[in-house]
Structure 1
Amino acid sequence: MQPGEPAKLLRIHISESDRIQGKPLYEAIVARCRELKIAGATVFRGLEGYGGSAEMHKAHLAHHDRPILITIVDTEENLSRLIPAVEDMLDTGLLALSDVRVTRIQKKGGAYGRERS
Structure 2
Amino acid sequence: MRLTGRALRLTVLVGEGDMWHHRPLATEIVHRAHAAGLAGASVFRGLEGFGASSIVHTTRLLSMSQDLPVAVVIVDDEPRVRAFLPQLDELVSEGLVIIDEVEVIRYTGRTAAR
Letter in 1 for 2:88: V
User: Are 1:81 and 2:83 counterparts?
Assistant: yes
Preserved contact between residue 13 and residue 67 of structure 1 (Cα < 8 Å): yes
Q: Could you tell me how far apart the structure 1 residues matched to 2:19 and 2:3 are?
A: 34
Tell me the equivalent position of 1:113: none
User: Are 1:24 and 2:24 counterparts?
Assistant: yes
* TM-score, normalisation: structure 2: 0.88
Structure 2: give runs of 5+ residues left out of the alignment. Answer: none
Question: Which aligned pairs between 1:47-86 and structure 2 lie closer than 5 A?
Answer: 47-59=47-59, 60-61=61-62, 63-86=65-88
1:61 shift after superposition: 4.2
1:55-81 per-position Cα deviation (integer Å, ceiling 9, x unaligned): 112225464211001111001100112
SS at match of 2:75: strand
Higher helix share: 2
Aligned residues: 109
Q: Could you tell me how far apart the structure 2 residues matched to 1:50 and 1:20 are?
A: 21
Tell me the equivalent position of 1:115: none
SS at match of 1:64: helix
Tell me the equivalent position of 1:33: 33
Structure 1: give runs of 5+ residues left out of the alignment. Answer: 111-117
Q: Could you tell me how far apart the structure 2 residues matched to 1:3 and 1:25 are?
A: 29
Provide the alpha-carbon RMSD of the alignment.
1.6
Preserved contact between residue 57 and residue 66 of structure 1 (Cα < 8 Å): yes
Q: Could you tell me how far apart the structure 1 residues matched to 2:85 and 2:110 are?
A: 26
* TM-score, normalisation: structure 1: 0.86
Q: Could you tell me how far apart the structure 2 residues matched to 1:71 and 1:103 are?
A: 17
Preserved contact between residue 3 and residue 76 of structure 2 (Cα < 8 Å): no
Q: Could you tell me how far apart the structure 2 residues matched to 1:106 and 1:70 are?
A: 20
